C-alpha cells in the first residue's frame, strides 16, 4: 500500500486491549516472491494486487486464485485506487534514483485490471507514492520531488489524471505520506509522518505523526499534527519515530489510524484523538462497517475488532512476513497482502454485516424496528427484500440532516440485518430510512449514552 521508509524504530510495550483468536486465515498461492504493496476489490469477485517491479495480479473468484497481468513497467507500484466499477489507477516510481530514464509511472485500467495503459503526466517527480480517485475524473496523488525522498507534495486532477495541480500551501512541516482515505467526496485524510524543515528525518532518523484533513475534495489541506500529537505523551526523538501508516473511515466523523507506535482514534474528524500503544508496527487498517475492522502489520500481525476499535483480537496468520495492505470484497471476504508474495484470505467477515435468509424469500418488503431500542452503543436493523434490489439505508437527525449512509449497494432477495454502531454520535432521536426502487420506509430510534 505504501513505501516502507526504514527508520530505526524503538517499539514500546503494548498496553492496547488485545485478546487472542485462533486461525481464520488461509495462505493463497501468489506465484511470485515479490513484495506486494496494495490490494483492492471491485465488487464481490474481481480484485487487484500491485507490488514490486511492476507486479500486478488479478482474481475473479474473491481471492481464491490470482493471475499475473502485464503492467508495462518494472518500477515499484506503491498506490492503487478504485475509481468506479471498471476503472483503477496505480502509481509508483523509483524512490531514490532521480537520474533514471523512467522514474514515475501512472497506470490506468478501464476493464477491471485486464489491460493497463501508461498515462503521461505533467508532474516533475521521481516517484508517485499514493493515489486516490474520488470519481474517474477527480483524484489526488502524492509525489516525491527531491532526491532521497527529501520532500513530498500533494497534487490534484479534475481530468482523469492528464494534468495535475500542486497544492502549495502545506504548513512549515515536511511530510512523508503513507495512506489516504475519503469518507465522502469532500472529506478525506492523508497520514504519514512529519518534521519541521529545520529537522529533516533523513538527517536525524526520526519523524513525528503527520495527518492532513481536507473538506473540499483535496483542493486544500489542514494539518492536524498538534491534535494527534497531543494524544500521546511519548517522547519522540532520535531513533524513536511516530509514523502513521494507515487510516480508515469508520462511521460518521470517526476514523481509526494505525502506525509504528499503535492505534489512534478520533470521533470528530480529527479535532481530538485517543491513543493505544501496540508492540508491532501496523501498516494498514480497514473497516467493513462501524464495528468490524481489521489491521495488519509487521511479522504477520493481524488484529480484528468487532466493537468499533475498543478491543482488538490478535489472530493467527501463519506467516512472519510483513503484511502491508488489507481489503475486503463486497461479500466481506478479507484479503491481506505483504512481503515475498504473501497473500492471506479469510471468510470470517462474510457474515459480519448481513445474514442472508436460506429459507423462504419474503413475500413483501419490510423494515423492522431496530433492537434494542433505546440503545447504546449498537443496535441491529433488520429488513426484508422481495427481490434482488439496490438498497440504500441512511441515518438522519431530527433536523432532517443526513448523518450517515450505512448501505448503498445491491443485495439478493431475503432477510437481512445490519449492526449499527453509533460511536461519535450524541444522545438523541435519529431516523433510519430504507429505500429501494419500489419501496421506502422510515423508522425512529433513540440513542441513550
pLDDT of residue 66: 98
User: What's the distance, CA 427 to chain centroid?
Assistant: 28
At residue 298, φ and ψ (nearest 5 deg) are: -70, 155
Check residue 211 and give its pLDDT: 93
Q: Cα separation of 327 and 349, whole Å?
A: 11
Domain ranges, ordered by start, for the chain: 18-346, 366-447
pLDDT score of 12: 30
Output the pLDDT for position 199: 54
pLDDT over 50 at 9, yes or no = no
Q: Residue 78: pLDDT above 50?
A: yes
Output the CA–CA distances (angstroms, integers) from residue 113 to 56, 162, 210, in the order listed. 8, 19, 32
Site of grid cell 512529519: 194
∠ CA 288-423-191 to the nearest 5 degrees? 65
Taking the C-alpha atoms of residue 177 and residue 2, their distance in angstroms, rounded to an integer, is: 8
* Mean pLDDT of the region 211-232: 89
Task: Assign domain 366-447 one CATH number from 2.40.170.20, 2.40.50.140, 2.60.40.1930, 3.40.50.2000.
Answer: 2.60.40.1930
Which pLDDT band holds residue 439 (cuts at 50, 70, 90)? Answer: very high
Measured distance CA(14)–CA(135) in Å, rounded: 40
Which residue, among 330, 246, 254, has the nearest Cα to 290 in the 3D structure?
254
- CA 245 from centroid of its chain's CA atoms: 10
How far apart, in whole angstroms, are the C-alpha atoms of residue 96 and residue 76?
12
Are 255 and 189 spatial neighbours (Cβ–Cβ below 8 Å)?
A: yes
Tell me which of 3.30.70.920, 2.130.10.10, 3.40.50.2300, 2.160.10.10 is the CATH number of domain 18-346: 2.130.10.10
pLDDT digits (tens, 9 = 90+) for 245-297: 999 999 888 999 999 989 999 999 999 999 999 989 999 999 988 788 999 99
Half-sphere exposure of 167 toward its Cβ, with a 13 Å CA cutoff? 23
* Dmax (CA) of the chain: 69
Which letter does DSSP use for residue 339 in this model? Answer: G
Amino acid at each position: 500500500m505504501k513505501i516502507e521508509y526504514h527508520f530505526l524504530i524503538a517499539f514500546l510495550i503494548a498496553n492496547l486491549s488485545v485478546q487472542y483468536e485462533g486461525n481464520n486465515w488461509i495462505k493463497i498461492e501468489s506465484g511470485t516472491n515479490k513484495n506486494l504493496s496494495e490490494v483492492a476489490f471491485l465488487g464481490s469477485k474481481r480484485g487487484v494486487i500491485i507490488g514490486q517491479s511492476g507486479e500486478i495480479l488479478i482474481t475473479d473468484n474473491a481471492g481464491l486464485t490470482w493471475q499475473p497481468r502485464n503492467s508495462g513497467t518494472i518500477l515499484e507500484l506503491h498506490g492503487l485506487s478504485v475509481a468506479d466499477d471498471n476503472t483503477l489507477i496505480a502509481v509508483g516510481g523509483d524512490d531514490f534514483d532521480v537520474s533514471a530514464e523512467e522514474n514515475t509511472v501512472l497506470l490506468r485500467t478501464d476493464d477491471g485490471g485486464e489491460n493497463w495503459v501508461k498515462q503521461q503526466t505533467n508532474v516533475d517527480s521521481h516517484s508517485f507514492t499514493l493515489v486516490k480517485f474520488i470519481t474517474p475524473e477527480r483524484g489526488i496523488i502524492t509525489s516525491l520531488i527531491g532526491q532521497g525522498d527529501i520532500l513530498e507534495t500533494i497534487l490534484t486532477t479534475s481530468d482523469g489524471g492528464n494534468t495535475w495541480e500542486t497544492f502549495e500551501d502545506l504548513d512549515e512541516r515536511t511530510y512523508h505520506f503513507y495512506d489516504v482515505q475519503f469518507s465522502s467526496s469532500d472529506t478525506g485524510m492523508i497520514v504519514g509522518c512529519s518534521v519541521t524543515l529545520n529537522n529533516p528525518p533523513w538527517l536525524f532518523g526520526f519523524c513525528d505523526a503527520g495527518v492532513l484533513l481536507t473538506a473540499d475534495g483535496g483542493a486544500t489541506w489542514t494539518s492536524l499534527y498538534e491534535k494527534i500529537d497531543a494524544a500521546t505523551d511519548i517522547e519522540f526523538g532520535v531513533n524513536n519515530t511516530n509514523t502513521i501508516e494507515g487510516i480508515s473511515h469508520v462511521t460518521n466523523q470517526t476514523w481509526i489510524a494505525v502506525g509504528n507506535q499503535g492505534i489512534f482514534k478520533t470521533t470528530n474528524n480529527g479535532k481530538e484523538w485517543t491513543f493505544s500503544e501496540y508492540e508491532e508496527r501496523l501498516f494498514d487498517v480497514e473497516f467493513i462497517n462501524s464495528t468490524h475492522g481489521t489491521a495488519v502489520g509487521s511479522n504477520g500481525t493481524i488484529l480484528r475488532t468487532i466493537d468499533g476499535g475498543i478491543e482488538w483480537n490478535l489472530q493467527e496468520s501463519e506467516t512472519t512476513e510483513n503484511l502491508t495492505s488489507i481489503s475486503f470484497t463486497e461479500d466481506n471476504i478479507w484479503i491481506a497482502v505483504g512481503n515475498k508474495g504473501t497473500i492471506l484470505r479469510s471468510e470470517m467477515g462474510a457474515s459480519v454485516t448481513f445474514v442472508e435468509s436460506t429459507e423462504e424469500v419474503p413475500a413483501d418488503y419490510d423494515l423492522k424496528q431496530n433492537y434494542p431500542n433505546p440503545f447504546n452503543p449498537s443496535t441491529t436493523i433488520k429488513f426484508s427484500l422481495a427481490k434482488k434490489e439496490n438498497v440504500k439505508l441512511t441515518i438522519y437527525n431530527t433536523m432532517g440532516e443526513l448523518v450517515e449512509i450505512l448501505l448503498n449497494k445491491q443485495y439478493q432477495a431475503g432477510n437481512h440485518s445490519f449492526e449499527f454502531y453509533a460511536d461519535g454520535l450524541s444522545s438523541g432521536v435519529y431516523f433510519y430510512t430504507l429505500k429501494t426502487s419500489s419501496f421506502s420506509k422510515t423508522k425512529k430510534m433513540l440513542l441513550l449514552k
